[in-house]
Structure 1
Amino acid sequence: MSAPTLAARRGLGIQPGEGSAVVAGFLFFFCLFASYFMLRPVRETMGIAGGVRNLQWLFTATFVVMLVAIPIYGLCSARLPRRRFVPWVYAFFVANLVGFALATRAAPDNLWLARAFYVWLSVFNLFVVSVAWSLMADVFRPGQARRLFALLAAGASAGGLAGPVLGGWLVPRIGLTGLMLLSAALLAATLPGAGFLFGWRRRAGAGVPVADDPVLPQDPARPIGGGLWAGLTLVARSRYLLGIGLFVILLATASTFLYFEQARLVAQTFPSRTQQTQVFSAIDAVVQGLTILVQVFFSGRIARRYGVTMLLGVVPLATGLGFLALALWPAFGVLAAVMILRRVGEYALLRPGREMLFTVVDAETKYKAKNVIDTAVYRAGDAVSAWIKTAIDAFSGHPAVVALTGAVLALGWAWLGWWLGCRHEGRAGTEPPAARLEAAPGRPGGA
């Protein structure tokens, strides 16, 4: 290997034997996020088509569907080996996409089909992304995650950039049905990557214990076990997991407040559905382009030098400042800047940091408790904050009240990120594997 190549790999934090896994993980996330972001602008337009004032009902419907899906997911993950479970989840959603493509071709203007697609895509994106990061937390050791997760997340950002660009260019040529079929093909392309990563785990990843980074080498060929509601039970018994859940709720609250303001200002500023789709696509493209730059050149260095604590704390503080700016100048340009800042920070810093928190827990927690937090807890935060936003608007009648509320919540969000970062650093560096998941009295090994 040439000297420039070695220097580049060292600068990116890639050690010998890890390059193939980084490439596989990068391509895995690229295909996954290109598949989702290709359809995201369509979802936003469909949400506005049903009325901005009805968005809270779509958020509530999404949360209800999540509650129905959680026990089904828990049953499947308990009985299927992880090597089979992950591909089956993606194959299921590929079949869903094909079904929506056929239904949309038969009834392209059906409002209820548009609403169903909005809810489905809101469920789909959380489940597939949660399972993807569960896979990565299962494959990589904590030390590897700190060095490499930002690079893997760059694959997600690259896919998130390619998806809306391809979607905006192709939709006039192949239509919405063709776009959905292409999205299904990209999602299916992730299946070989999952198999490769599980194989690499056994050779050089979390399946190989090392003295300075101890883990329990749990075999992905064996089922995780546990009950249908084991994920909820694990979260309820652990202060560490409850803290992560509250962190996700505050993230969802900030996102929802800004999302509703975005929908309101876009509807006011751009009356045409075509213009609205173009605006959403442009914002997505800018976000993903900036995110890639931050992930490749800054995220890994920040994680290696300052740890998870910095990744989880700086974005909430910046979001709080953005809310204050929005309270003073409630214009579309200011909102767009705040939205871009928050989303770049979430994808480049928060997301890798959040996923690192799960590298120090067991397999059941990685796949079950994590999925509950990433799906049901996140959508619960969405639904509750959507109704809170609606109530604040009804009583105050001024968007500045929502912005100030968001700024106050962002301060608590930043403190919680600092607390979680400190807990993770302690577990990754000093605690034995059996003691990593802090539990309440009554759980084996609990405090």
Structure 2
Amino acid sequence: MSQISETFFPKVERKEFFPLLKSFGFFFFVLASWYALRPVRNEMAIEGGIFNLPYILLAIVIVMGLINPVYSWVISKIKKNRIVIYCYAFFIFNLIIFLVCWSLLGEQGRQWTGRAFYVWCNVYSFFVVSIFWVTVINYFSTEDAKRVFGVISAGGSLGAFFGSTTAKYFSSELCGKSTISDLGPISLIFFSISCLLIAIVLSRSLTSGSQGISKAENEEAIGGSSIEAFKNILKNIPVRLMALYILLWTGLSTIAWMISLTIIQDWSSDPCERTAFFAQIEQIVTPLTLIMQFFFTSYLLRTVGIVPILTLYGVFLLIAFGVYATYPTITAVLVLTVLIRVFEYGFNKPTRETIFTSLAKQDRYKSTVMMDTFVARTGDYLGGQSVTLLTVFGLAIGSIAFTALPVAVLLSFVGYKAAKSARL
């Protein structure tokens, strides 16, 4: 029994217990903050028109491209142990601005605020999560990561469940009494702000750890230039391969998402029903992901390794596009979305972050954030634009799914090469 326990629950040293617990709670509140807003963002995507998404995604890419050099410049100047405080405080201030705009502006102003909110949500979600992982990968070593990142990810999954449950309450219990546009900013922004404030408090002790960082080093600035991340992606082979991997899977995920949104729109014209469906997906994904994170993530990282995990993403997307092309139903959307999301959060994300622990300091603080924000959003835009262009040329949704199949094969190949190039 003890051997089985150690296989699936790797031993945690006494000195690691409280940092692990705080990391668990830190991620819980970060994802609770985001997942309370996520179903509202998805509904706004449908109300704004599915095929307008590529233009919105372009706006997101531009914003990400502008923010990344600013982020790199700011963290080059501030102390390492202040990064979370400064960045999260900025996003809390943004949330307050949206709250004020929704409360004071008229109908026309709310429409533009809604569009801005959709763009901002995508920036917000990737930055707050990426900054969390920046903190964690600079605390735990690569070997520690293989043991504890699954458990830490489980904290995020529980937070996602908490946040999506909150969102589902507002969409199911209150929808019809007020509009979804009112529910998002007014009811859920307060919740998100509270979660971020708690996350800041929990992050304060994760300033030095097994990476060999002393207290004095945490008082130092990161250094480097504002374009350090851009340069490192071009010249560093492991970083470049990981960037290409992220670009491909986000592009393919966006294509799959737009196909699924079309199926959902055909299934129901009721905004409340669609929003509840989005929230229901989150609630199905969470317990399944938790099982993977608690019981299997650490075990597979330590035994199977990173190569099969990074390679499998393309295989799952290959299956998804094949099914969407031949069986485009709401059941297919539910099953495939759950499968891909569980794999992403249960295995692929912890694996990528484990690889990031082996990178140089500048890459850990800057390149990883750029990959999780600008590169990922560029992949979204390219995926969305591909769907739009193929639609212009007369291709139906099923045919578009077929055209994505070779790219899914390429993703598996790049994942294999990226895993092999990592120094683990």
Settle same-fold status: TM greater than 0.5.
Answer: yes
Separation in 1 of the partners of 2:375 and 2:85? 24
1:125 counterpart letter in structure 2 = S
Identify the residue that residue 165 of structure 1 maps to in structure 2. Answer: 165
Question: 1:83 offset after TM fit, Å?
Answer: 0.4
Distance 1:291 1:164 in 2: 14
1:187 to 183, 189, 196: 196
State the TM-score, normalizing by the size of structure 1.
0.88
User: Displacement of 1:259 after TM fit?
Assistant: 1.1
Pick aligned residue for 1:12 from 9, 12, 35: 9
Counterpart code for 1:206? Q
**1:433 maps to which residue?**
none
State the partner residue of 2:135: 135
Q: State yes or no: 1:49 paired with 2:47.
A: yes
The answer (yes or no) to whether the contact 2:164–2:282 under 8 Å persists in 1 is yes
Return the letter of the residue paired with 2:187. G
Greater CA drift, 267-276 or 164-173: 164-173
Contact 2:312 2:412 in 1 (8 A): yes
How many Å separate the matches in 2 of 1:292 and 1:270? 30
Is 1:391 matched up with 2:400?
no
1:206 aligns with 2:203: no
Change (3 A) 1:139 1:108: farther
Q: Matched residue of 2:375: which SS?
A: helix
Quote the residue 2:70 is aligned against.
72
- CA displacement at 1:99 relative to structure 2: 1.7
Q: CA, structure 1 residues 359+218, in 2 after alignment: closer, same or farther (shift >3 Å)?
A: farther
In structure 2, do the counterparts of structure 1 residues 8 and 100 end up closer, same or farther at CA, with 3 Å as the change threshold? farther
Partner of 2:61: 63
Aligned partner of 1:310 in structure 2 is 308
* Structure 2 partner of 1:442: none
C-alpha separation in 1, matches of 2:103 and 2:266: 30
Answer yes or no: is 1:291 the counterpart of 2:300: no
Superposed CA deviations along residues 104-139 of structure 1, whole A, max 9, x for unmatched, are 222475211111000000001111111111111110
**C-alpha separation between the residues in 1 aligned to 2:338 and 2:404?**
16
Match in the other structure for 2:179:
none
SS of residue matched to 1:198: coil
SS at match of 1:219: helix
Greater RCO, 1 or 2 (C-alpha within 8 Å, sep 6+):
2
Instruction: String of CA shifts for 1:362-410, please: whole Å, max 9, x gaps.
Output: 2211111111111111111111121111111222432222212222211
Contact 2:263/2:328 (<8 A) preserved: no
> In structure 2, what residue type is equivalent to 1:347?
Y
* 8 A Cα contact 1:168 1:278, kept in partner: yes
TM-score of the superposed pair, with normalisation by structure 2: 0.92
% same residue: 26
Mapped partners of 1:178, 1:422: distance in 2: 46
Unaligned runs of 5+ in 2: 175-181
Inter-partner Cα distance in structure 2 for 1:89 and 1:8: 39
Q: In structure 2, what is the equivalent of residue 348 of structure 1?
A: 346
Q: Which residue of 1 aligns with 2:272?
A: 274
- Measure, in 1, the Cα distance between the counterparts of 2:218 and 2:401: 45
Contact 2:153 2:345 in 1 (8 A): yes
CA RMSD of aligned residues (A): 2.1
Give 1:437's aligned residue: none
User: 1:381 maps to what in 2?
Assistant: 379
CA contact 1:207–1:217 (8 Å) conserved in 2: no
> Match for residue 365 of structure 1?
363
Q: Give the drift of 1:233.
A: 0.6
Q: Shift of residue 40 of structure 1?
A: 0.3
CA contact (8 A) 1:45 1:276 kept: yes
CA contact (8 A) 1:45 1:273 kept: yes
Distance change in 2, residues 1:325/1:108 (3 Å): farther
Measured after TM superposition, the shift of residue 14 of structure 1 is 3.5
**SS at the partner of 1:189?**
helix
Find the partner of 2:206 among 190, 197, 204. Answer: 197
| Counterpart contact for 1:312–1:417, Cα < 8 Å | yes
Report if the CA contact (8 A) 2:168-2:280 is conserved.
no
Q: Is contact 2:313–2:411 with CA below 8 Å preserved after alignment?
A: no
Aligned equivalents of 2:4, 2:215: Cα separation in 1:
31
CA contact (8 A) 2:60 2:122 kept: yes
